[in-house]
Amino acid sequence: MSLDSLIANTIRPDVRSDKSYHVPDASGFVKLDAMENPYQLPEELRRELAGRLAEVALNRYPAAAYGPLKERIRAKLGIPAGYDVLLGNGSDELIAIMAATCAWQDRRAVMLAPVPAFVMFQRSAQVAGMDFVGIPLKADLALDLPAMLAAIERHRPTLIFLAYPNNPTGNLFDTADIEAILRAQGEQGLVVVDEAYEPFAQQSFMPRLPEFANLIVMRTLSKLGLAGIRLGYMSAAPALLEQFEKVRPPYNINVMTQAAAEFALDHVEVLNEQARLLREQRTALSAALAALPGVQVFPSAANFITIRVPDADSVHAKLVSRKILIKNLSKMHSVLANCLRVTVSTPDENAAFLDALKDSLS
């Protein structure tokens, strides 16, 4: 039997021609490419957590309702009264669940998002069999509202994704623009406000859920310091959340994640303090970058900074040779020509990056 024929006969052509999500090998690098929090939980809390994890019943499936974890999320993370959350194995899984749920089989289903955006929006649309329509951001990285409204009229998207702040640009879209999009969608379509970077923006649509029946707010614990445990959550009108609940794989949050997240949320003030430090370091790093000749710094409300340099490919290659890993955005979209994205880290790592960048620019 030929494996080539087997694959040609079974695997979808669009999947066959695609590549899998590339994660560069970061061993030995100062890793500033993935918007991770550089701080661990303090030693004493980690020891206490180890004791808790030792008690977890690995032989049992997770408790289906995730009651104690959801209770902590509702209480500690500002979910409005009367609203529940749906949990995902990272918000990546929630994006895939939403796409699968809104990809109608018998009519053209469209996902709309500004571009450049978080790449998993488009990937999930494609895998679910939705058409993806991307509306380019303006040169100043703001939403092109007239183009977004025209696309809503023309394509009637079942899902719109807006990251707030946006990745990979770092900016917060105008609140009035998002409200106009929510109103234009009306009962024809949903609007997902992806607040992965909320701890660094401190602005949120979560309290506004009661105002818009078509609003879904999605967040993650990843950027707050728990990227390794993979926990995302989303909230929306209860009747809507119930629909997505039917598509969520049972037991998608494993017992270790559940226990670690409950523990971390009991100490959420520690994570919030780390986010505060990173916001301070963002201010310092932005100022230092802006002082470098030839570097344009875009305003950031996230834990990363997007910059434009004269020759991004060359700067990126030189940084790699100095063992500094950041993201080259140059080829992602024309509005990001010669742009690079760097995660805000500890003062030491930020200084190492700045030093290497100075050398790389010359």
Residues lying near ligand PMP in the complex (CB under 6 A) are found at 35, 90-92, 118, 163, 167, 194, 196, 220, 222, 227, 232
* Nearest approach, Cβ of residue 121 and ligand PMP (Å): 8
Q: What is the rounded CA–CA span in Å between residue 146 and residue 172?
A: 18
> In the complex, what is the shortest distance from the CB of residue 342 to ligand PMP, in angstroms, rounded to a whole number?
14
CB of 310 to ligand PMP, least distance (A): 27
Strand 296-297 versus strand 304-308 pairing type: antiparallel
Please name the residue that has the structure tokens 């999605």.
218
Distance, CA of 144 to CA of 325 (rounded, Å):
32
CB 274, min distance to ligand PMP, A? 17
> Shortest gap between Cβ of 118 and ligand PMP (angstroms)?
4
Task: State how far the Cα of 122 lies from the Cα of 120, in Å rounded to an integer.
Answer: 5
The residue (of 335 and 361) whose beta carbon lies closer to ligand PMP is: 335
**CA–CA distance, 63 with 66 (Å, rounded to integer):** 6
What is the closest distance, in whole angstroms, from the C-beta atom of residue 7 to ligand PMP in the complex?
28
**Strands 159-163 vs 110-115: parallel, antiparallel or unpaired:** parallel
Q: Give least dist CB 232 to ligand PMP, A.
A: 4
Position with the least CB separation from ligand PMP: 90
What's the rounded Cα separation, in Å, for the pair 77 and 261? Answer: 12
Q: Compare residues 91 and 185 and give the one whose CB is closer to ligand PMP.
A: 91
Which C-beta is closer to ligand PMP: that of 303 or that of 350? 303
- Whichever of 194 and 349 has its CB closer to ligand PMP, that residue is 194
Indicate the residue among 125 and 356 with the shorter CB distance to ligand PMP: 125
Residue 174 to residue 56: CA distance in whole angstroms: 44
Q: Are 116 and 167 in contact (CB under 8 A)?
A: no
304 and 336 Cβ atoms separated by less than 8 Å: no
Using alpha carbons only, how large is the chain's radius of gyration in Å?
21
Nearer to ligand PMP, 182 or 226 (CB): 226
Angle of helix 347-361 relative to helix 312-321, nearest 10 degrees?
120
The 8-class DSSP code of residue 36 comes to -
If the CB atoms of residues 189 and 232 are measured against ligand PMP, the closer one turns out to be 232
Contact present, 277 and 49 (Cβ < 8 Å): no
